[in-house]
Amino acid sequence: MKILIEPQIYNNEILSSWLIRSSIINGSEPSSWATMIFNDNKFWSKDPDRFIEDEEVHKLVKGCNKSFQELKNMTLEPLYKKIIGNDKLNYKKAWTFIISTGQRGTYRRNGTYFCPLCLKNEKEFSLRREFRLAWNTSCSIHKINLLQKCQKCETNFTPYKITFDEAKPFLCTNCEYDLRESNMKRANEEVYIFQEKLNNAIFNENIDKKFPLIELNLEELFKTLRILLSFLRALMKTNKSTTFLKKLNLEHLKKQLEEIKTSDNFEDMELKAREFYLLLVSRLFSLKIEDIKKIFEELDFTYKLVAKQSTLSSKTIDYITKNLKVNSKNKDVVSTKEITPKSKEEVKILLEELKSCL
Ligand SMILES: [Zn+2]
Ligand SMILES: [Zn+2]
């Protein structure tokens, strides 16, 4: 199938965004459009923005004037390879720093993040690759926090579901609320600056020379960052969280601790929790490596708490944790409620309750 009117690719535009715009310009709707091109009615549920088989890209190349590489570069695969290096790519697994979307089995994943101001009109809108990179909590252009749901009916943003009669990606596909009217929140300045530094690293291979890294390369940067994020999540569950926040001059965040409590991976966290952890990690990244090491030693963090919350490893983390104790006597992580022996009375009641089930 030949795409008659072919839109230009916007800067950093993600594949689905370009496909949706193509379908609208050509008077079609994304679902039937993709079925025609790829001969696959499950195309959208497979998250083509993350990974698309070469064979599928070739089908698209035949129908348009874009090259194989131009199309592949609209997906997240080339970026993920920069983050994780030469490790084997497994598209069935979750990817470090890549936000999952859609629904697989019974596990509901996040919807697609969007900037309400970037959804200008039905022909000029863009969803960009950075919206899927988990350190992005705001739009680089408009400096407002990204959204994921319709604020009126709470339905996830799924623009590929727009239909021919209402082919307007700025309308909620469930209740037709104009998403451009959503309440917007200004980005946290510090988190925004850090986010843009990381975007500059991944997109332009330009790493801030002041970052506390043993080696200044992308893999070292993103692995170190990801290990620290796992460590911080574990740390916030311990009684050392308060002292640590004080050290970073962030004691005012203490009251947020309850709200952002989660056992989700960083990639699956709600935006608010990711913003919280990014603020912490950006403070660490503004220090010198020796100062981080000193703080960790002073607060008597264990090697396990810092380095073993993640399966990744990095030279920077090895260096920082060199002198830390493997395990401490005082348990670091606050354990869940202990199982205590029951009194005679309690056992009796339990037995009665059990009997009714037998
Ligand atoms: Zn925007
Ligand atoms: Zn809605």
What confidence tens digit (pLDDT) does each residue in 224-251 have?
A: 999 999 999 999 999 999 999 999 999 9
CA of 51 to the centre of ligand 2 (A): 28
**Ligand lying nearest the CA atom of residue 150:** 2
Per-residue pLDDT tens over the stretch 270-286? 999 999 999 999 999 99
Q: What is the residue-level pLDDT of the chain in tens, covering all 358 positions? A: 788 899 999 999 999 999 999 999 999 999 999 999 999 989 998 899 999 999 999 999 998 999 999 999 999 999 999 998 866 788 888 899 999 886 555 455 667 999 999 999 988 999 999 999 999 999 999 999 999 999 999 999 999 999 988 889 999 999 999 999 999 999 999 999 999 999 999 999 999 999 999 999 999 999 999 999 999 999 999 999 999 999 999 999 999 998 898 889 999 999 999 999 999 999 999 999 999 999 999 999 999 999 999 999 999 999 999 999 987 555 555 555 556 666 777 777 777 767 766 6
CA of 171 to the centre of ligand 2 (A): 8
Ligand nearest to the CA of 116: 1
The C-alpha angle with vertex 239 and arms to 235 and 243, in degrees rounded to 5, equals 80
Distance 218 CA to ligand 1 centre (A): 26
Give me ligand 2 centre to Cα 75, in Å. Answer: 27
Query: How many CB atoms are closer than 10 A to CB 352?
Result: 9
**Within 10 Å of residue 22's Cβ, how many Cβ atoms?**
22
Of residues 212, 222, 213, 229, the one with CA closest to residue 278 = 229
**For the segment 294-344, what is each residue's pLDDT rounded down to a tens digit?**
999 999 999 999 999 999 999 999 999 999 998 755 555 555 555 666 677
What per-residue confidence (pLDDT) applies to 231? 97
Which ligand places an atom closest to the C-alpha of 115?
1
- Residue 173 Cα to ligand 2 midpoint, Å, equals 7
Query: Considering every ligand atom, which ligand is closest to the CA of 146?
Result: 1
139 CA → ligand 1 middle, Å: 5
What is the CB neighbour count within 10 angstroms for residue 96? 20
